[in-house]
Every structure is written in C-alpha cells, then in structure tokens.
Structure 1
Amino acid sequence: MDLSKVVLPTFILEPRSFLDKLSDNYYHADILAQARSLDDPYLRFKCVLRWYLSGLYRKPKGLKKPYNPVLGEVFRCYWKNRDDDTRTYYVAEQVSHHPPVSAFYVSNRQDGYVIEGSLLARSKFYGTSTSAILEGCARVHLLQWDETYITTAPYAHCKGIVIGTLSMELGGKVHIMCIETGYQAEVEFKLRSFLGSADQTNAISGRIKKGKETVASVEGYWDGKIDIKDKKTGEETNLLDVAILKEQRMTRYLMRLDYQQEYESQRLWMKVSEAIQNNDQVAATEEKTIVEEAQRSRARNLVAPWVPRFFHKDFHLQPPEGLVEQGWRYNHVNTSPWQPDEELEYEDSFVISSLRALAAGSPVESRARDPPRDLAPVLTDSDSRDEHARPKTTTRTLKQTLYSIDTTLRDHTNAIEKLTRTVESLSEGHRQAVAYRPQNVGRMPTTTHSWDLFGGFVLAIVLQAILNWLFYQKD
C-alpha cells in the first residue's frame, strides 16, 4: 500500500510538517533576484538552474520523515534578503488528503520573482528500500522578463530499512524548462549502486539545451560542488558550492505560536514535536494519534466536498508534454511586475498583497513600515551531517590512506612487542630474586604475595593504557 496511508512510528519522524519541509527550497530564493539585471536569456536560465540546485542540500541528520499534513493544514513564513531588505513570503496549504496534495505560493515581486506549484506525495516500497515521489511541478515567474520556468522534483530514495544502514539519496531525472526562451535542462540524480564507490554518492549530471542543441553540461554533487562546462569553448566554471551557500543563507521568520491560527502546522503539531524533542516516544505517539483521529472525525462529518481556503483548482494549467501538473493555484496570485507606486509587499492572514504609496504621515503607512512583532527568526530544521563539500575519493587517495593505516598499525605492533619483552624480562628477574631469597624470614611469604598482587595490578593498568591509546589513535 502507499506509505502515505501508513501510520509510522514517531522515532522516524522529523518534528515538522511536510508543508514546512517544502519551504527548504527557498532559503536561497534571493539568487533569483540576480536575474533582473541579466539581459542574456542564457545567463538568466543558469541563474534559475543555480537557484533550483541550491534548495536540495538541506536534510535532517539521519533518516527522518516529516508529518503527513492533515486536510486544511496551512503554513507560512518569510525570509529577509540581506542585500536589499526585501522579503520573500511563503504560504502553503494541504488542499487534498486522499490523494495527499500540497499547494504552495512564494512571492517577492519587489525583487522580481513569484513561484507557484502543487505536488502529490506518494511512496513506493521495494522490500528493503522505499522511494518518496513528488508528482507535479512548480512555475518560476521572472516578472520583469515575462518568463516562466517549469521545474519538476527528484524523488527521495531510502535504503537500509530492513538490513544495513539507513540512508537517503535523491534520484530520478528532473526538468527545468522555459518555453519563452527555448532553454531547457535535464538533470539526473544518480543513486549509488550496490558495489559503487564513494564517488557515486549524491552525484548529478545533466545538459542544458537550446531547442535540440546541447549548450553546456553539468556535473557535480547536489550536496557539494557543481560545475558547468560550455560545449563551444570548453570552459568549465563553478555553478555553486554548498560550503559557500551555507554562509549566504537567508534567515527565516515564523509567526509566534500565540498568533497562529488553529490549523497552522507548528501549532497543530506542537505537542507531538515537543515530545519528539524530549525523546518521549510514548507521549509523541499519543499526541500524534489525537491529531490523526481528529482529522478522521472531521472527514467523516463532511457533508460537502472540502473547499481549500487559499488555493483553487485551475483546469486551464497545461504542462509540457511528459510532465504532470496538479493544477492548484493561489487565490491571490499576482505575477505582474513591481510598479513604481508600490511601497512594499506584505502577508496578512495568508493573503500576500502590496501596499500602494500613501500620503506622508498616514497611520496606515506608519503601521505598514513597522517591523512585524509577531514574527521571529527561528531554526526549526537542520542540515546534513556533511558540513563541507565532500572531496572526490580516487583509487590513488584510497591506496595512500590504506598504506598510512598499515604503517601506523605496524609501528604500534612493534612498540607493543618491545614493551611485552621488557615486561617479561622484568618478571623473569623478579622470579629469580624470589628463588634465591632466604626462606627463614618469618614474614617473607606475605611480602612476596603482596608484591605479586601489586605488580600484576600495575601491569594491568599499563596494558589497559596502551590499548586505550592504540585504539584512540586508530579512530
């Protein structure tokens, strides 16, 4: 059966909702702002590709799965751009539960981009592994250039469910295409084979094409460095470096809990998340059951089809051939370029709109310019264990590493043998001294026995220290 219908144990859950998880793709949305000043459509396409790949490296430590959103669940946040102090707003809603469809909308019209999309989450189980598949696409609108870039998502492949070590990789082919300019890219996320080397872990490769002509190739690692090579000139340049990107990540802001509505993700799952963070799996299971039973009760009591609050189905959305479109759109979508009389963009009760120029000193204008007091910067998610880009492992470096380990082990073995011989010679000398010791001293046997115990104790301590030092050096 589809794993989205399976009640999973709480120890495998990441303490946040899938609607929250989808926002990880937009920590570097400010990259899209650079497209405003790029007159060359090829450079704009590379800019969009760079942004797309920048949203993939964030993942929890270990193998974790976010909560399945309940029907009508909503989530919102925003990021503040450090360069020009603009804000990128994100709102999302669970518009369907069977099948599970999540719709989202991202807007920073002042910086020239809007992103909208909807994804259907489903799973496949293969016996010893499983894949989480996202069917649907996102549309990236560059407002100044009147261009739309359609993107699809890779699937997450989890190994080691039954035997082996639990691990997660991204797999499949994704598409990034712009109908207006004719540029498109197909990027393959490669899964590491059973006997594959470390070079295959998280590797990607792809091509950028203009029509049917290949313009450039893309190679690298989605959690490390990615390079792009121009086909005509042969020049190879760096498209992105995750180690550098982490230092440029925008700060995300969430609504304070006491200001959140009833079905906002953080408030809805608050008790479950607290229990998981406190390692109380019993309480987490109980609280999770309460949320899920309330969802089932609401579904049973519905007398009419569910109508989402902030999104609607648009049957006119037609994806390019071969792609799947779920067709949900934001009720307040605005893809018109930023106008001179617009002062700022803001979000109020999940409605994103802009403030027009007002008379100086107007109380409405004053309130709009104040920093929001109900929002605060938070860190609700985590990165991979890989803190830096992984260097490629070659056969030569592997041989050098093994040789170094072997040399160290030999040196330690020789040192232990030398120490063992020294201890044995000392023990032999001690036994000879005891053999020639006069036997007519009344208290001599007691002294000899005490010395044997003390010597054995000291010898045990020395050997234990040597072993501890040896294994510490090996680690």
Structure 2
Amino acid sequence: MVTKVVLTKPFSIGDSDDVYRAPNLIQRILSLFNNIRPGSDLTRFQASLSFHLSLPPVFNFPKSQLQCYGESMYCTSWDLLSECNSGQSPLDRFISVVAWNISTTRPAIFGLAPYNPILGETHHVSRGNLNVLLEQVSHHPPVAALHATDEKENIQMIWCQRPVPKFNGTSVEAEVLGKRELKLLNHGEIYEMNSPNLLIRFLPIPGLDWIGNVNIRCKESGLVAELCYKSHSFLSFGGNQRLIRGKIFDSSSLKILYEVDGRWDKTVTIKDKQNGKVRVIYDAKQVISRLQTPILNDAESITATESALVWSELSQAIMNKDWEKASEAKKIVEGRQRELLRERESKGETWIPKHFVVSHSKESGWECSPIQKWVPAAPIIAL
C-alpha cells in the first residue's frame, strides 16, 4: 500500500498562492479577542498562532508548525551553509553565518497559521547532504527540537524553540524562546544565536512582522553580531519595511568592524568601518524565492509520526477547499491525541521523546540534546 503523504509548497519571497490566501480577516481578528485581556500570557490560548488545535481549518494553511521550522532550514535556492564552512578566516565565516541566520527568517501570512504539532510528531527531510530532523518534544507548553547535520561539510545544528505569545491590546507578540546552535566542526567553532519575535498586529492595519533583537556569538573567535529586526511605525506610514539594523564587533576590544543594514525580504549589506566599503551579504530573492515543493522519495521509510502523514487528510482537504472534510479530519487527529493521553495517564506513563534528551528549568529554560550524532538521510527530499 502506498503511504499517503501530502507535501506543500514552501513560503517564498514574492509568491502568491490561493491555497495560502486568508479568509475574512475581520472575522479572524474578532475571534482573537474572545476571553483574553491585555498583558495576558497566551501560552494556553494560542489560537493567534494556530498552536491550538481548535482553530477552524479555514484559518490554517496546509502544513504543521514543525514543517515551517524545518523549511527555514532546508528550503533554500542558495547553499549558504557551505559558504559558512568555506570562509578563509573566522571573520569571513562569521559574516556568512550572519547571512545564513537572516535566511531563516521567512514570510508569514496574516489570518492563516500552521497546525499545532501533536506530541511526538516528527519531520524528516534531506536536501543534498543536509539532513534535517524535528520532533515536537512537548505539547503544553509547545516546544520543538531540531537537529540538522551535513556529514560531508562536518556541520551540526541544534535548535530548541518555545513560542510564548502575549496579548498587548492591539497586537500579539510571540517571543520565541530557546537557543540555536550552529557548529562548524572543521574549524572548531560554535555559533549561538536566538530568534526574532513574531508580531501579529490587529490595529491600525492588520499584519505580521518579525521584530526584536537577535544576537549571534562565536566564543572561539570572540566575534558578536547584534541585529535589530524592525517593523514599520504604529500608523504604518511607509509600508512594511522589514528592516534589519545592527553591527558586528570584536567582543574583546568592543571595536565595531561592520555596520549591518537592509531588509530581510530584499537585501542586507555590511559597511566596513575601516574603509567605508559596502557590500551585499544577503539577497532574499536569490536565497528564498522560487522554492519548490519537496518530494517523497521513499514511501516505505515514512514513519507514522511524520508531519506530512499525520496531517495529510487535513492538508488535502484544505487545498481542495473541502471544509466539511477538513473539519472531520482535524477532529480525528484531535480525538486520537486525547485517547493516547488518557491511555498514558491510566497507566501512569510519562511520554519520552524518541530523538532528543530533553531537560528544562526556570534558570536555563528548555534544552534539547539529540540522541544521534548524525541525522540519517530522509525519505522526503527538498529540491
């Protein structure tokens, strides 16, 4: 029997697709204000980001949040990771890492949101020599872990992400907690970085923006980048700017080496503080446009927890705009999860992630360590 897997087109700069078109936005906005107050912690009330299973399918686009995380890693038109590894000097490599980190910022659509991943859901995709594996290691709160490796380039990546949304009256800001770590093993370098926050703005003009401060640090070289993602003004004059401003400096001397300037959806430049020369380090059109839908290469190797299988019936119904079938498909997934939870509770069992060792505390937050050193090749291939 052929495994039914539904794969969908990734988000690209400049793309427009009816499948990802939001429904009535006024209805969507009003639904968000029910039973919440300004300043509320929305960890449990996460319909704004579709981290809550009860969101009607008409407000979903056909993929899981786990797939969205993965796409920011494996869906590219340009291999920036290899450039990170091939830099001749620590500074060259650091600048490439900054560019690569910017490339993980992807467009979002106001009024539509991904599915909330079920506990234990996985997503496993390969692109070239890069193998990417994600697992939903917690449901309440929602925590996703990512492990990606390129054995040929000797590169490893580990992410542990937990979104914490809060309602601010005219907007919801989701702080993305957790550490991102990129290891260039050939050079003995580890880069630590965080993620910008997602701002869902209701008034005066509805929209989504990535905002906040992102720090990238390499302890081995002492280099640091401080980037600030900026939205447009409150009154929205000038349109959606999607700005990035920042600097790259030596942490030992605090000497600023480069100024960073640009837009993450267009181009980002750096200006050499010594000679004033400006050059482009990131071009969104080159890296995250014309992205292709991944393909199923080995149906027999798909696991039962794979996102593209777990949500296949729902995703297909959404793409067909069959909302009755979509609602039924979603209820089936929800019902199965409630049944599994009842079974674990009746047996006194604690769920344990399959691919990660997970720990968390008030001091350090959530941390995820992969069980395997190298991620194996996946049955799904990104083009």
Q: Output the TM-score relative to the length of structure 2.
A: 0.78
CA contact (8 A) 1:117 1:329 kept: no
2:356 corresponds to which residue?
311
Structure 1 residues 266 and 375, CA, compared in 2 at 3 Å: closer, same or farther? closer
Distance 2:210 2:132 in 1: 24
Distance 2:372 2:121 in 1: 18
Q: Report deviation, 1:94.
A: 0.7
Q: Partner letter of residue 233 of structure 2? A: S
CA contact (8 A) 1:312 1:331 kept: yes
Please state if 1:43 is matched with 2:92: yes
Please state if 1:68 is matched with 2:116: yes
Please state if 1:347 is matched with 2:365: no
1:10 to 40, 48, 57: 57
2:102 corresponds to which residue?
53
Structure 1 residues 257 and 166, CA, compared in 2 at 3 Å: closer, same or farther? farther
CA contact (8 A) 1:33 1:113 kept: no
Distance 2:299 2:335 in 1: 23
Distance 2:382 2:241 in 1: 33
Q: Output the TM-score relative to the length of structure 1.
A: 0.64
1:328 corresponds to which residue?
368
CA contact (8 A) 1:14 1:60 kept: no
Identity %: 28
Q: Report deviation, 1:111.
A: 1.6
Q: Report deviation, 1:265.
A: 0.7
CA contact (8 A) 2:125 2:381 kept: no
Q: Report deviation, 1:314.
A: 5.6
Please state if 1:190 is matched with 2:238: no
2:248 corresponds to which residue?
208
Distance 1:252 1:112 in 2: 24
Aligned counterparts, 1:308-457, within 5 A: 308-313=353-358, 326-334=366-374, 346-347=376-377, 375=380
Please state if 1:102 is matched with 2:144: yes
Q: Partner letter of residue 233 of structure 1? A: N
Residues 274-298 of structure 1: CA deviation (Å, up to 9, x unaligned): 1111112222122112211211221
Please state if 1:144 is matched with 2:191: no
Distance 1:314 1:229 in 2: 41
Q: Report deviation, 1:77.
A: 0.4
Q: Which moved more, 1:184-193 or 1:59-68?
A: 59-68
SS at match of 1:23: helix
Q: Report deviation, 1:187.
A: 0.7
2:24 corresponds to which residue?
none
2:331 corresponds to which residue?
289
Structure 1 residues 376 and 105, CA, compared in 2 at 3 Å: closer, same or farther? closer
Larger relative contact order, structure 1 or 2 (CA cutoff 8 Å, min sep 6): 2
CA RMSD of aligned residues (A): 2.7
Of structures 1 and 2, the larger Rg is shown by 1
Q: Partner letter of residue 268 of structure 2? A: I
Q: Report deviation, 1:78.
A: 0.9
1:168 corresponds to which residue?
208
1:241 corresponds to which residue?
283
Structure with the largest fraction of helix: 1
Distance 1:164 1:36 in 2: 44
Please state if 1:124 is matched with 2:172: no
Q: Partner letter of residue 332 of structure 1? A: Q
Q: Partner letter of residue 107 of structure 2? A: K
Structure 1 residues 299 and 79, CA, compared in 2 at 3 Å: closer, same or farther? same
1:217 corresponds to which residue?
259
CA contact (8 A) 2:103 2:288 kept: no
| Structure 2: stretches of 5+ with no match in the other structure | 1-41
Distance 2:317 2:290 in 1: 32
2:219 corresponds to which residue?
179
2:309 corresponds to which residue?
267
